[in-house]
Structure 1
Amino acid sequence: MLFKEKFLVYKELRSRGYIVTPGIKFGSDFAVYEHGPGIDHAPYIIQVMVPQANLTATGIVLAGRLATTVKKKFLIAVVNHSQEDVEFLSFEWWRA
């Protein structure tokens, strides 16, 4: 993933008032806080993608299982280059 995509996602999250930190320890691009580290726990982990990136069912399940294990919501941030826009996709997990 290129710097520009990650920066656009970072900028969008900051404009919404979130505190954004590296998500490497959660296997993602960002860990996102509502108030900040040491004040609260990050409720979200975010993976940055572009529309043409391959997204596999296995990849979604792996990310979802990890997020569930660490009690976070997994979101995919999709960057649209032509409009410099970011869309967020979330997944809801439940037991069958």
Structure 2
Amino acid sequence: MTVLPDFGPSAPGIISIPRSEVADAVEWNWYAWVDEDWCWVANIRDGKLFVSTVVSATAAKNPEWEGDRYNGWGRWIDPEGVELKAESRPLAGGGSS
């Protein structure tokens, strides 16, 4: 393990572990059921979810979606009553078993 030099003494104890030493690292993605589509939860702030989609048909269902076909669409929603799901996938480069 190596202490990260960029953090300096103001944040002691921050460590870096080589990816080759980790066998079970996973990435988590959260999704919300919005306008009849599973939309990626890109951010959470002040109790709201920022959801994103690249599906123009989903964005066309509600004028609150902002964006375009090149960058996708996003909007802030209240999570109350919204169905959520989480999916995980292994990260590449894990250690040997």
TM-score for the superposition, normalised by structure 1: 0.28
Which of the pair is proportionally richer in strand? 2
Larger relative contact order (C-alpha < 8 A, sep ≥ 6)?
2
- Higher Cα Rg, which structure: 2
